[in-house]
């Protein structure tokens, strides 16, 4: 079913929200978790974000893409969280238990993959904050260039160019395995 | 990606690695299932509230027919007059306008056809305790508020199915909704109806290990030892914000006040009743006619109010709360209630940009001149300062001049939105009570020291400076 139809269904009856929820849940959670690096905080924030989406959905207008609207809500929820939580320790992938958990379950790959993820994480963490945010929106939230552009008031081309530069920067620092 | 974008010029291998890297941040299945259930519950409640709001009319439909409106009005007036003279005069008005009751441990609930728990019920095992805080049952539904201490509470089996149900005289009443707040460690179970009035006792089965007998009492029987008075018209208004005392309850534990606030100002709205003035720190005060001040009972002992009239609105303008005070030994004939100030919110669209210059260092100060009008208050920022903070790293702080009050309102905080290009630096705000200064801070990225920091102030928090004073006689 097309996204517009799903939006219409949900706006008519909020109990029909499930398909939209399933479409966006993983993307929102990955985005929030990668921003907070703390599972408990990410779970609490994701709950809040979807409650906000549910409450605001009847007023959503399709002038801007739904994904951009949803991730603006997510971004604001994260800001609010930081505003009221001054002391927020940030964890690495290992500290957050992600690598261990995923390698145990098989989804994280072998030890070579793990080394690569750690290397990638170190390099991402050395990028400027705005670059990290772009990577998250593109690869954690799975947004298209134009959706990111809508969120940030930029053209699709400008976003594409910015991400292109970031990838070049990363490529020069890490060994990319094909 | 949804778009068919030409990514030939981007490194596909690196893109795949990045996607795989971010997919490590995956959610646990149980969490997803839980949030889905919470959303269904929320959507159901939303629909229920909407349905009640759209259908609820005080009088039969005939009174709303345009042609019969005047006839209805006269009939209604006669009914009110008869009520006034035939029954207790004040009570008739009150019961028509405020059909609520107050229960220790539950707060104010709807009176009609409601059975409730007399007090909390606890059930314990070596590593976990479950407390049933309140049960509210009527012919249509039964809701159970509970909390849990000890081991992490999980009412699901390994397949993610709920095992909870009510055993009502041998009939199984399945769980239809469930909400759980993992931070507060409390939740709510919702059960359907048997199609008749719920009996007074039943058993709550949460899992094979947990069976908790529950015994209810009808609302009408809980008045012993309590005196409750409902007030329809004790209100005071400052700056178009009205604070009303809705009900006063006296029992062995103290005095309980139900307050409601509403804003008549189209842009100034209340989100919650903050009965503590953020500038002076003064609490709400209850005082008897001889000037004796009663101390407020603090939150651990406050009753848990069940929301009486949920407000569904884009801009919340009506809020309510209960406050408890210790009991006075005096024989009171009248009481005063004073609130030092109320805080509300108003939209404020202002932009501030600040440039720390190239390679800013810790301790650097630089001019950041900006005078802006935020919700009618003139705020002047003049200097930025770079400091280091333990958890946030390097921070850029902007402080305003002291903010003078005007029109009986004082700016006490702002909501911010980052407007920079893709930046995701952290922004925060605060208000220094002693210096009456507004403070904005940004995390500074050392790898990108020339960033121009820009934020939009989207909302302003204003505190009403005049104290509200509600006075009422206890023996009308």
Question: Is residue B472 helix, strand or coil?
Answer: strand
Interface contact A132-B417, CB threshold 8 A: no
* Residue to test with chain A: of B9, B12, B25, B388, most A Cβ within 10 A: B25
Separation between Cα atoms, residue B460 and residue B414, nearest integer Å: 4
- HSE of A125 in the Cβ direction (CA atoms, 13 Å)? 13
Task: Please answer whether residues B398 and B384 qualify as being in contact, where contact means their C-beta atoms are separated by less than 8 angstroms.
Answer: yes
- Comparing CB atoms, the residue among B17, B35, B425 nearest residue A120 is B17
Interface contact B417-A79, CB threshold 8 A: yes
Separation between Cα atoms, residue A47 and residue B412, nearest integer Å: 29
How many angstroms from the chain centroid is the CA of residue A123?
Answer: 18
pLDDT score at A30? 93
Residues 6+ apart with CB under 8 A from B172: B165, B166
In terms of CA atoms, which chain B residue is nearest residue A118?
Answer: B21
In terms of CA atoms, which chain B residue is nearest residue A12?
Answer: B47
- DSSP for B330-392, please give it: S--SEEEEEE---EEEEEEEEEEEE---SS--TT-EEEEEEEEEETTEEEEEEEEEEEEETTT
10 Å Cβ neighbour count for B428? Answer: 19
Predicted confidence (pLDDT) per residue in A69-124, tens digit? 898 888 877 766 665 443 334 445 555 555 555 554 444 455 666 777 788 888 88
User: Is the backbone of residue B30 left (phi > 0), alpha (psi -120 to 50) or beta?
Assistant: alpha
Separation between Cα atoms, residue B53 and residue B59, nearest integer Å: 14
Separation between Cα atoms, residue A175 and residue B155, nearest integer Å: 47
Cα distance from A8 to chain B (closest Cα, Å)? Answer: 15
Name every chain A residue with its beta carbon within 8 A of the beta carbon of B429: 83
How many angstroms from the chain centroid is the CA of residue A91?
Answer: 17
SS (H, E, C) chain A: CCHHHHHHHHHHCHHHCHHHHHHHHHHHHHHHHHHHCCHHHHHHHHHHHHHHHHHHHHHCCCCCCHHHHHHHHHHHHHHHHHHHCCCCCCCCCCCCCHHHHHHHHCCCCCHHHHHHHHHHHHHHHCCCHHHHHHHHHHHHCCCCHHHHHHHHCCCHHHHHHHHHHHHHHHHHHCCCCC
Interface contact B424-A176, CB threshold 8 A: no
**Which H/E stretch holds residue B31?**
helix B29-55
pLDDT score at B146? 86
Predicted confidence (pLDDT) per residue in B5-23, tens digit? 444 444 678 888 898 888 8
Task: Please answer whether residues B206 and B155 qualify as being in contact, where contact means their C-beta atoms are separated by less than 8 angstroms.
Answer: yes
The larger pLDDT score, comparing residue B183 to residue A169, is at A169
pLDDT score at A25? 94
Residue A135 clears pLDDT 90, i.e. is over it: yes
Name every chain B residue with its beta carbon within 8 A of the beta carbon of A136: 22
Torsion, CA B141, CA B144, CA B145, CA B148, rounded to 10: -150
CB contacts < 8 Å between A and B, how many?
A: 172
* Residue to test with chain A: of B315, B422, B461, most A Cβ within 10 A: B422
Residue B111 is classified by DSSP as -
In terms of CA atoms, which chain A residue is nearest residue B19?
Answer: A139
Residues facing B309 on adjacent strands: none
Q: What backbone torsions phi and psi does residue A36 show, to the nearest 5 degrees?
A: -100, -25
Cα distance from A57 to chain B (closest Cα, Å)? Answer: 11
Determine the average pLDDT of the residues in B218-226.
Answer: 49
Q: Mean pLDDT: which of A37-46, B346-355, B371-380 is highest?
A: B371-380
List the one residue out of B420, B405, B304, B296 whose CA is nearest residue B352.
Answer: B420
Residues 6+ apart with CB under 8 A from B274: B342, B343
Helix (H), strand (E) counts: chain B: 4, 27
Cα distance from A63 to chain B (closest Cα, Å)? Answer: 18
Residue A145 clears pLDDT 60, i.e. is over it: yes
pLDDT score at B70? 45
Interface contact A34-B25, CB threshold 8 A: yes
Per-residue buried b or exposed e for A117-146, using 16+ beta carbons within 10 Å of the residue's own CB: beebbeebeebbbbbbbbbbbbbbbbbbbb
Q: Of A161-165, B58-62, B352-356, B392-396, which gets the smallest average pLDDT?
A: B58-62
List the one residue out of B351, B354, B364, B350 whose CA is nearest residue B452.
Answer: B354
Cα distance from B22 to chain A (closest Cα, Å)? Answer: 5
Residues 6+ apart with CB under 8 A from B61: none
Tokens of B146: 């509970």
Task: Please answer whether residues B467 and B236 qualify as being in contact, where contact means their C-beta atoms are separated by less than 8 angstroms.
Answer: no
Task: Please answer whether residues A118 and A94 qualify as being in contact, where contact means their C-beta atoms are separated by less than 8 angstroms.
Answer: yes
- ipTM of the assembly? 0.84
Separation between Cα atoms, residue A141 and residue A135, nearest integer Å: 9
Tokens of B259: 């307050």
Name every chain B residue with its beta carbon within 8 A of the beta carbon of A30: 22-23, 25-27
Mean pLDDT of chain B, nearest integer: 71
Cα distance from B441 to chain A (closest Cα, Å)? Answer: 10
Separation between Cα atoms, residue B433 and residue B460, nearest integer Å: 16
Separation between Cα atoms, residue B234 and residue B244, nearest integer Å: 6
Residue B64 is classified by DSSP as G
pLDDT score at A141? 93
* Residue to test with chain B: of A10, A12, A14, most B Cβ within 10 A: A14
């Amino acid at each position: 079913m097309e996204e517009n139809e799903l939006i219409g269904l949900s706006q008519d009856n909020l109990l029909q929200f499930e398909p939209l929820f399933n479409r966006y849940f993983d993307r929102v959670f990955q985005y929030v978790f990668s921003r907070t690096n703390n599972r408990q905080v990410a779970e609490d924030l994701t709950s809040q974000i979807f409650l906000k989406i549910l409450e605001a959905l009847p007023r959503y207008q399709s002038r801007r893409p739904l994904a951009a609207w949803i991730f603006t809500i997510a971004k604001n929820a994260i800001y609010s969280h930081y505003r009221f939580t001054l002391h927020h320790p940030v964890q690495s992938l290992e500290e957050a238990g992600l690598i261990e958990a995923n390698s145990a379950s098989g989804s994280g790959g072998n030890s070579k993959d793990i080394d690569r993820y750690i290397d990638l994480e170190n390099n991402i963490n050395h990028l400027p904050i705005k670059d990290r945010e772009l990577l998250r929106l593109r690869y954690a939230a799975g947004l298209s260039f134009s959706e990111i552009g809508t969120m940030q008031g930029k053209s699709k081309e400008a976003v594409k160019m910015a991400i292109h530069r970031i990838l070049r920067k990363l490529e020069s620092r890490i060994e990319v395995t094909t | 990606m949804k778009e068919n974008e030409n990514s030939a010029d981007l490194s596909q291998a690196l893109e795949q690695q990045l996607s795989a890297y971010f997919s490590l941040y995956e959610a646990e299945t149980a969490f997803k299932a839980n949030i889905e259930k919470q959303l269904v519950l929320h959507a159901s409640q939303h629909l229920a509230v909407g349905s009640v709001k759209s259908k609820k009319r005080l009088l039969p439909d005939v009174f709303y027919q345009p042609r019969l409106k005047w006839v209805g009005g006269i009939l209604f007036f006669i009914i009110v007059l008869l009520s006034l003279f035939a029954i207790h005069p004040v009570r008739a008005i009150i019961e028509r306008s405020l059909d609520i009751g107050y229960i220790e441990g539950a707060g104010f609930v709807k009176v009609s056809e409601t059975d409730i728990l007399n007090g909390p019920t606890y059930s314990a095992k070596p590593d976990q305790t479950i407390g049933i805080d309140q049960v509210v049952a009527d012919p249509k539904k039964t809701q159970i508020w509970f909390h849990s201490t000890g081991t992490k509470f999980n009412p699901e089996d390994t397949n993610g199915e709920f095992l909870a149900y009510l055993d009502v005289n041998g009939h199984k009443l399945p769980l239809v909704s469930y909400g759980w707040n993992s931070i507060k460690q409390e939740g709510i179970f919702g059960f359907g109806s048997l199609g008749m009035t719920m009996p007074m006792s039943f058993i709550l089965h949460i899992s094979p290990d947990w069976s908790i007998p529950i015994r209810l009492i009808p609302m009408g029987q809980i008045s012993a030892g309590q005196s409750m008075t409902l007030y329809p018209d004790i209100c005071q208004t400052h700056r178009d914000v009205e604070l009303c005392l809705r009900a006063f309850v006296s029992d062995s534990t103290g005095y309980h006040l139900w307050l409601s606030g509403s804003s008549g100002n189209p842009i100034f709205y209340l989100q919650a009743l903050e009965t503590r003035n953020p500038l002076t720190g003064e609490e709400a005060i209850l005082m008897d006619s001889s000037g004796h001040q009663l101390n407020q009972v603090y939150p651990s002992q406050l009753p848990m109010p069940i929301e009486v009239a949920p407000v569904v609105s884009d801009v919340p303008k009506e809020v309510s709360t209960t406050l408890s005070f210790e009991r006075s030994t005096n024989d009171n004939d009248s009481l005063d209630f004073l609130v030092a100030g109320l805080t509300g919110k108003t939209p404020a669209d202002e932009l501030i940009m600040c440039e720390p210059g190239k390679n800013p260092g810790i301790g650097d100060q630089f001019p950041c001149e900006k005078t802006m009008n935020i919700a009618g208050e003139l705020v002047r920022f003049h200097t930025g300062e770079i400091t280091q903070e333990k958890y946030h790293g390097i921070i850029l702080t902007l402080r305003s001049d002291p903010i003078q009050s005007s029109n009986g309102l004082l700016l006490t905080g702002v909501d911010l939105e980052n407007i920079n290009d893709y930046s995701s630096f952290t922004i925060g705000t605060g208000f220094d009570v002693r210096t009456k200064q507004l403070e904005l801070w940004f995390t500074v990225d050392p790898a990108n020291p020339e960033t121009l920091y820009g934020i939009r102030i989207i909302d302003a928090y204003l505190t009403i400076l005049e104290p509200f004073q509600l006075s009422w006689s206890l023996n009308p």
